[in-house]
């Protein structure tokens, strides 16, 4: 009964694997969950509302309002009710709508209103699953903090064989059970995270910045919040949206603002992870007015910024966990080890710009963890959400 008392909204879309969802609902209920089914109109070609409502013991909704009574099926109330949403099977069509914020039916509107964790179990023919658009859309969902339960390989309705089958209901339920089990491990902890770039003003128009997207830091914040932590995210300029109610965001622009915001919260945090790409230098004097172009060359005097992480390393107490990142392009391990010791960290997460699809702007990352006991763990290329889970799994291993 690991799902005891959990309110799970099951979103069914119009794919043949929908015939397996009645068994999935039974398993969820057996595990103690309360289930509310919402379907797209086309899902009802594959499975009947009577079966779904009988098994879930609740009316099934597939339209914005009831045809007979006119009663509104509020997508907002449905979204607020859920502790978790599961889209299974998820077709390529609904996936594309979710990735782009379209809300043309009740289910996609419920998704847009969701503040709870969202899981998707895609199912489609192998060529659709392999299409770059589908891959991009799944990555987009992951970048929003949604969890993808990957399709498996086997016989498909088309008669072809390959990757595209929805994961079996038993395994989907296991996925959700594991999620809730893991969720509580950071309960009552305060986690401080820095993320994104910093912008150092040259004049009112220009700045010195870097390519950081903030996605790794956001994945860390999202993961910590889902594991039950209260998260304080100090975020440099970017376009990311943060929806989890346990994440408090302080927006900053410059390295010096980030320094102040981080130091304000550090004493109250049990775990601090500095994932921001902080500028090492800032213009000594910001020009009051736009600098006009003059001669053929232009020099700018820069001065060093304060190292936020190194400063935290100096004031850190024994029961606090401090984690840094190292972005390197050469002598990666050696440089990361130097930073680990110099900044007095529990461990450092190394990502190399030499690894394909890792680092700035990507939705994936490839890391190594180097800890103060000399251990080095290398990880595969993974989504930034999975990388964040690996980092917290390592934090939980530390004896504090």
Catalytic annotation, residues? 210
Instruction: Provide the b/e sequence for 237-263 (b: ≥16 CB within 10 Å).
Output: bbebebebebbbbbebbbbbbbbebbb
Q: Fill in the DSSP letter of residue 305.
A: P
Nearer to ligand CTP, 78 or 219 (CB): 219
- CB atoms under 10 Å from CB of 294, counted, come to 7
Closer of 53 and 311 to ligand CTP (Cβ): 311
Count CB neighbours of 27 within 10 A: 17
Residues that bind ligand CTP (CB under 6 A): 194, 255, 274, 276, 278, 280, 305, 307-309, 324-327, 339
Minimum Å distance from CB 259 to ligand CTP? 7
Nearer to ligand CTP among residue 17 and residue 277 (C-beta): 277
**Is the bond preceding 89 in cis, omega lying within 30 degrees of 0?**
yes
Element (H, E) at 136: helix 132-143
Can you read off the two tokens belonging to residue 305? 């910024």
CB of 138 or CB of 340, closer to ligand CTP: 340
Task: Tell me if residue 300 falls in helix, strand or coil.
Answer: coil
Report the chain's terminal Cα–Cα distance, integer Å.
31
Between 186 and 326, CB nearer to ligand CTP: 326
Kindly tell me which of 28 and 308 has the beta carbon lying closer to ligand CTP: 308
The residue (of 167 and 307) whose beta carbon lies closer to ligand CTP is: 307
Beta-strand relationship, 147-148 and 7-12:
unpaired
Rounded to a whole number of angstroms, the minimum distance from the CB of residue 336 to ligand CTP is 8
- CA 252 from chain center: how many Å? 21
- The whole-angstrom separation of Cα 259 and Cα 383 is 29
Give the strand pairing for 147-148 and 118-122: parallel
Instruction: Indicate the residue among 78 and 345 with the shorter CB distance to ligand CTP.
Output: 345
- Give me the least distance between CB of 341 and ligand CTP, in Å please: 12
Longest CA–CA separation in the chain, Å? 79
Name beta bridge partners: 201. Answer: 207
Burial of 284 (0-12, 13-18, 19+ CB in 10 A): exposed
* Per-residue tokens: 110: 């419920």
Smallest distance, Å, CB 309 to ligand CTP? 3
Tokens of 243: 């929806």
- Of 166, 91, 103, 99, the closest CA to residue 137 belongs to 99
Least separation in angstroms between residue 305's CB and ligand CTP is 5
Pairing mode, if any, of strands 367-371 and 376-378? antiparallel
Strands 382-383 and 364-365, bridge-based pairing: antiparallel
- To ligand CTP, the closest distance from the beta carbon of 228 in angstroms equals 24
How far apart CA 374 and CA 376 sit, in angstroms, is: 7
CB of 247 to ligand CTP, least distance (A): 18
Min CB(244)–ligand CTP separation in Å: 22
């Amino acid at each position: 009964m690991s799902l005891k008392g959990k309110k799970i909204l099951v979103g069914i879309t119009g794919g043949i694997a929908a015939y397996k969802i009645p068994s999935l609902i039974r398993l969820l209920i057996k595990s103690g969950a309360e289930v509310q089914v919402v379907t797209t109109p086309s899902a009802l070609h594959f499975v009947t509302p009577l079966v779904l409502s009988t098994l879930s013991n609740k009316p099934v909704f597939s339209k914005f309002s009831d045809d007979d009574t006119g009663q509104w099926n509020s997508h907002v109330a449905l979204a607020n009710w859920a502790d978790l949403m599961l889209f299974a099977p998820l077709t390529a069509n609904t996936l594309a709508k979710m990735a782009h914020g379209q809300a043309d039916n009740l289910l996609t509107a419920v998704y847009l209103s969701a503040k709870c964790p969202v899981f998707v179990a895609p199912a489609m023919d192998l060529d659709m699953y392999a299409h770059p658009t589908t891959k991009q859309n799944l990555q987009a969902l992951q970048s929003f903090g949604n969890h993808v339960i990957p399709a498996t390989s086997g016989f498909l309705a088309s008669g072809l064989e390959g990757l595209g089958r929805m994961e079996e209901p038993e395994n989907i339920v296991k996925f959700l059970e594991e999620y809730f089990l893991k969720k509580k491990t950071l309960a009552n902890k305060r986690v401080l995270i820095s993320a994104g770039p910093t912008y150092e003003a040259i004049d009112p128009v220009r700045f010195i910045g870097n390519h950081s997207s903030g996605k790794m830091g956001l994945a860390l914040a999202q993961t910590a919040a889902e594991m039950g932590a209260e998260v304080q995210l100090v975020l440099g300029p970017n376009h990311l949206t943060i929806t989890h109610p346990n994440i408090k965001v302080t927006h900053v622009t410059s390295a010096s603002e980030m320094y102040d915001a981080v130091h304000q919260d550090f004493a109250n945090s049990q775990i601090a992870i500095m994932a921001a790409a902080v500028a090492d230098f800032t213009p000594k004097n910001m020009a009051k007015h736009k600098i006009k172009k003059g001669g053929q060359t232009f020099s700018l005097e820069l001065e060093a910024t304060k190292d936020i992480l190194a400063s935290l390393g100096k004031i850190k107490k024994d029961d606090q966990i401090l984690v840094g990142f190292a972005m390197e392009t050469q002598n990666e391990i050696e440089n990361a080890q130097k930073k680990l010791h110099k900044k007095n960290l529990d461990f450092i997460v190394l990502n190399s710009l030499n690894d394909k699809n890792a680092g700035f702007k990507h939705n994936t990352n490839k890391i190594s963890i180097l800890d103060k006991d000399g251990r080095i763990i290398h990880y595969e290329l993974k989504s930034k959400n999975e990388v964040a889970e690996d980092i917290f799994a390592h934090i939980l291993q530390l004896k504090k």
